[in-house]
Structure 1
Amino acid sequence: MTTDHGYPAVRMHIAGEWCQGGSGRTAPVLDPATEEEIGRVPLATPADLDRALDAAARGFGTWRDTPVARRTAVLHAAADLLTERAGAVGRIMTLEQGKPLAEAAGEARRVADTLRWHADDARRAYGRIIPSAPGTLLSVRREPIGPVAAFVPWNFPAGGPMRKISAALAAGCSIVVKASEETPATAMELVRCFADAGLPDGVLNLVFGEPAEVSARLIASPVTRLIAFTGSVPVGKLLAAEAGKVMKPSLMELGGHAPVIVCADADPVTAARRAARAKFANAGQVCTSPSRFLVHESLAEEFTAAFVAAAEAVVVGDGLAEGTTMGPLANERRLAAMERLVADAVARGAKVRTGGERLDRPGYFFPPTVLTGVPADAELMREEPFGPLAPIVPFTDLDEALATANALPYGLAAYGFTESAATAERLAGALEAGILSINHCGGSVHEAPSGGVKDSGYGREGGPEALDAYLITKRVSHLLAS
């Protein structure tokens, strides 16, 4: 069933059944390009959450004991279905989140490959035999940790849930996912691919609800063995503290405020174009988005001119419209944040070089915005903008730039541009970040780990390290019969 907007009727998925919340409570889903209500999302009751937990407990017993070859086959089948449905899933994503259709469909296809990667990597979760005393067999085994509670945001409606789901299921865990109430249908369509691929009932459960109510119940439950979260630093600290009270491990991918250091020997035009492309992807609503541009003073003017030109070439509009390269912000909260950050920077002496004001049309549209002369005490330099704002700040020497880059408590991503191998190595050693890209601003890839340091979290997603949080390491010492 779909609405007049072509948006599907949203349901939760508990114990293999599509269902609404037991209380009948719902919340609106809005199209950020029009501000119109396009659907309703059901909100789980405590009883619904308990059913999901019970299902995950039973599902874990089934899935853990399923041979890895069979698990891999089911996950590959789900990935194939998602690839086939990427266009339709992308349209749903654009309706509820706003990103351009090509970007949304590309996200759906990309996370299908993430699922394939994790499915195959499950075959390589090796244990080992350790030489020991005569008559003793000493081994190390990797086993699934148990049912997982995962919490994911709205900015990547397919990527956020899939990074948790794919790693958990590949490791042999079951999972309860609390997806965003603002982008629920994309998560629902991902789960549908797994159900249609033959995933046993209860292994993957999808719920929506009041975030504080859902997290409190899922974290406290004795069924849950791991908490996996992607989102803001304040919420991540809260959830990690709640997990700590009940001695449960957690995987935290939190926010950042990624510096970009453009060294004196870099090509300023190339650096500006590559950085701008990354800055305005998903309207800047990316935790690894480049967000503080530290440019050597000898290049600042040329870099700024090229960056402004790239910003003004961005076509802002409805993600479903032909030619749109940047959609709206996801909600009114982000729009208000952009206005506040720009106003504060200007009040402190910054100059808006392009953009700076919300567009005069329905929807949560804010244009690519470039500012110069932004002082260090401006909120924009201390707070992750999570939107299309780009402050450009000149520096005199690299030590100064590195000190500025590392001054904040965040450490998720960082970027550098240089033609010198020695300088590149210096950046790699000195920047306090879990992800560093040099001479480009590439995003996360499923074959390599991503994650933060300092307040940006702990644990890794992607690469061989992705399964670590979802597996326990068991030492077995076997005294052989004489």
Structure 2
Amino acid sequence: MVADYDARLGLYIGGEWLTGDGRETQDVLNPATGAGQAALPLATPADLDAALEAAQRGFVLWRATAPEARAAILIKTAALLRERADHLARIATLEQGKIQAEAKGEVAFAASLLEFHAGEAQRIYGRVLPRPQGTRSLVLQQPVGPVAAFCAWNFPIMNVVRKIAPALAAGCSIIIKPSEETAGSAVEVLRCFQDAGLPGDVAQCVFGVPDMVSRQLLASPITRKLSFTGSVPVGKHLMKLAADTMMKTTMELGGHGPVLVFDDCDLDKTLDILVAHKFRNAGQVCVAPTRFHVQQGIYDRFAAGFAERTKALKVGSGMASGTQMGPMANARRPQAMADLVDDARTAGARLLAGGGRLEESGGGFFFTPTVLADVPLDARAMNEEPFGPIALIRPFETVEDAVEQANRLPFGLAAYCFTENGRRQNMLGDAIEAGMIGINTVKLSAPDSPFGGMKDSGHGSEDGPEGVAAHLVSKTVHMV
């Protein structure tokens, strides 16, 4: 066991931490070295049955808990996250690879989500319909039931909180299955909930073979909602499983973020913003800017400036001082990046920066920050989500061309526009098909705003009042 990696791994079921007892295990690796750090126990079918039974008990208890009491536990959990920020950030870096500054920012955002949802727990309103005197018709908002939540490895702290917080605010119990590759972060978050006083049956945390876990949890009549963050193909597969029991679904799937850069933007400022955001978390972000469509008049300057700034980035261990981009999260990702770069170059793209594995990386999963210009539309990277440190640059002539390119793919999660023309800003906000659009900004997430996409990027929203509403069902009561 690595000395700094002090997460106490286990399954959390019915208020108890379960570890060995003959369960199969999976190593949690350090992506900066490729070395194992700890053994994670995997759930058996019997463990999943126990988690479902606990979630059913927890729902009966939690839905009857006063909103103020739910809010108090969320507030206490947020305080514990802030108190343990250094510990949580260290675990996240050691198992996911991101730099420490990003990991600490993730902890802070997760705490703010909990605080926001604590307020929303006390703002779940129904309404009284106008009726003749002596009669009443009420519309009630009630928790949907136990939730099965599956989340990705790229934000191992925030993704877990983003699933649990709105479910608890609404009065639901939850079974969460985080990624096995970043198990320690999730475990430490659950310990914060436990230490804040959350009853043991209300939140369960399981790890295991993904297909087995998802099939068993989604086939159960106990589960009444599916919440998933991950790839489009897996999301579509889970929706098919969920259809058998007609459960509610929230799907936060992949994206392929277009960036429209017009010739009236502040070019240096735009480049500084975009390069930093493109390579945040080694590009492993569903809302990452990826396809840079640049107006012809500034295209050459933009491409040169982007490449210059990219080459200056310091790549290394996320624990090292001064590192600006860490390794990719697992051994699969560098090869996937290399394949996309090779395909794009074969198709005619120009390589301006990076393009391969980091030399002298030891056993780590490093890939150099990469910039490709003149990328043809038929290159794989222009059609498949790279989910890594690859920037794709192409020119455009007119606003209509830019919008057409932004909307060309079946994805619709995030998009970005950089222009000082106010009329154009309004038009782009209306015309681009994406659930979230940043105009002269890359900041799309806030606790009080909905986070989600359209088209193949999914449906439903997390965060904001919409995130809580996704865990509620409407009931109408007519009284005469």
Quote the Cα distance in structure 2 between the aligned partners of 1:280 and 1:216.
Answer: 35
2:252 pairs with 1:235: no
Q: Does structure 2 conserve the Cα–Cα contact (< 8 Å) formed by 1:33 and 1:327?
A: yes
The residue number in structure 2 matching 1:376 is: 377
Q: Kindly state the Cα deviation for residue 22 of structure 1 after the two structures are TM-superposed.
A: 5.5
| Residues 7, 185 of structure 2: 8 Å contact kept | no
CA contact (8 A) 1:352 1:372 kept: yes
Q: Does residue 121 of the first structure (1) align with residue 120 of the second (2)?
A: yes
Match of 1:445 in 2: 446
Counterpart of 1:447 in 2: which secondary structure?
A: coil
How far 1:136 sits from its partner (Å)? Answer: 1.1
Q: Tell me the distance in 2 between the aligned counterparts of 1:32 and 1:371.
A: 25
> Partners of 1:3 and 1:273 in 2: how far apart?
36
Asked if the contact 1:10–1:41 (Cα under 8 Å) also holds between the matched residues in 2, the reply is yes
2:92 pairs with 1:93: yes
> Is residue 162 of structure 1 aligned with residue 153 of structure 2?
no
State how far apart, in whole Å, the 1-side matches of 2:342 and 2:474 are.
52
Task: Determine the structure 2 residue equivalent to 1:150.
Answer: 149
Q: Which residue pairs with 1:287 in the alignment?
A: 286
- Say if 2:461 and 2:467, in contact at 8 Å, map to a contact too: yes
Deviations 1:164-217 (A, max 9, x none): 100000111000000100000100000000100110111010000000000000
For 2:17 and 2:39, the matched residues in 1 are separated by 15
Task: State the number of aligned residues.
Answer: 478
Q: Distance in 2 between matches of 1:194 and 1:450?
A: 23
Deviation at 1:251, TM superposition (A): 0.5
The Cα of 1:267 is off from its aligned counterpart by 2.1
CA shift at 1:372, angstroms?
0.6
**Aligned residues: CA RMSD:** 1.0
- Distance in 2, Cα, partners of 1:31 & 1:134: 68
1:267-286 matches, cutoff 5 A? 267-286=266-285
Report if aligned partners of 2:7, 2:187 keep a CA contact under 8 Å in 1: no
Identity rate of aligned residues, in percent?
Answer: 50
Q: CA deviation at 1:6?
A: 3.0
Q: Corresponding residue for 1:104? A: 103
Any unmatched runs of 5+ in structure 1? Answer: none
Q: In the alignment, which residue of structure 1 is the partner of 2:54?
A: 55
C-alpha distance after superposition, 1:375-432 (max 9, x if no partner): 0000010011100100110001111111111010000000000101100011101100
Amino acid at match of 1:380: A
Name the residue aligned to 2:5.
6
Q: Secondary structure at the match of 2:254?
A: coil
Gaps of 5+ in 2: none
Supply the distance in 1 between the matched residues of 2:298 and 2:402 (Cα, whole angstroms): 14
What is the CA distance between 1:5 and its match in structure 2?
4.3
* CA distances 1:213-236 after superposition (whole Å, capped 9, x unpaired): 000000011110000000000000
User: In the aligned structure 2, how far is the partner of 1:308 from the partner of 1:75?
Assistant: 44
Residue identity matched to 2:287: T
Cα displacement string for residues 20-49 of structure 1 (whole angstroms, at most 9, x for unaligned residues): 265420011110000000111111011000
Give TM-score scaled by structure 2 length: 0.98
Pairwise mapping of residues 264-343 of structure 1 onto structure 2 (< 5 A)? 264-343=263-342
In structure 1, what is the equivalent of residue 434 of structure 2? 433
Q: Report if the CA contact (8 A) 1:7-1:38 is conserved.
A: no
Q: Could you tell me which amino acid in structure 1 is paired with residue 181 of structure 2? A: E
Structure 2 distance, partners of 1:167, 1:400, is 40
Pairwise CA distance, 1:309: 2.1
**Which residue of structure 2 aligns with residue 80 of structure 1?**
79
Cα displacement (A) at 1:145:
0.7
Asked if the contact 2:23/2:44 (under 8 Å) is kept, the reply is: no
Deviation at 1:98, TM superposition (A): 0.3
Q: Deviations over 1:243-301 (max 9, x none)?
A: 11221111000000010001122122222221111101001000000000000000111
- Alignment partner of 1:327: what SS? coil
User: Matched residues in 1 for 2:108 and 2:427: separation?
Assistant: 36
Q: Which amino acid aligns with 2:476?
A: R
Counterpart in 2 of 1:393? 394
Query: Is residue 63–residue 174 contact of structure 1 (8 Å, CA) maintained in 2?
Result: yes
Q: 1:161 to 1:467 in 2, by over 3 A?
A: same
Q: Is the 8 A contact 2:7 2:188 kept in 1?
A: no
**Separation in structure 1 between the aligned mates of residue 59 and residue 316 of structure 2, nearest angstrom:** 44
Instruction: Tell me the amino acid that sits aligned with residue 40 of structure 2.
Output: V
- 1:276 partner letter: V
Equivalent position amino acid for 1:344 in 2? D
CA distance in 2, matches of 1:118, 1:23: 39
Q: Secondary structure at the match of 1:143?
A: strand
Q: Please tell me the residue identity of whatever aligns with 2:19.
A: Q
Native 8 Å contact 1:278 1:442 kept in 2: no
* Counterpart Cα distance in 2 of 1:263 and 1:373: 17
Q: Are positions 1:469 and 2:470 aligned together?
A: yes
In 1, Cα distance between the equivalents of 2:208 and 2:21? 12
| Paired letter, 2:189 | L
Q: Distance in 2 between matches of 1:443 and 1:257?
A: 15
SS of 2:470's equivalent? Answer: helix
Residue in 1 aligned with 2:181?
182
The 8 Å contact of residues 86 and 106 in structure 1, kept in 2 or not, is answered as no
Read off the aligned partner of 2:272 and give its amino acid letter.
Answer: R
What corresponds to 2:193 in structure 1? 194
- Report the secondary structure of 2:468's partner residue: helix
SS at match of 2:438: strand
Inter-partner Cα distance in structure 1 for 2:351 and 2:457: 29
Q: For residue 423 of structure 2, what is the amino acid of its counterpart?
A: A
Q: What SS does structure 2 have at the residue aligned with 1:275?
A: helix
CA distance in 2, matches of 1:24, 1:433: 43
CA distance in 1, matches of 2:47, 2:262: 54
2:281 aligned counterpart, secondary structure? helix
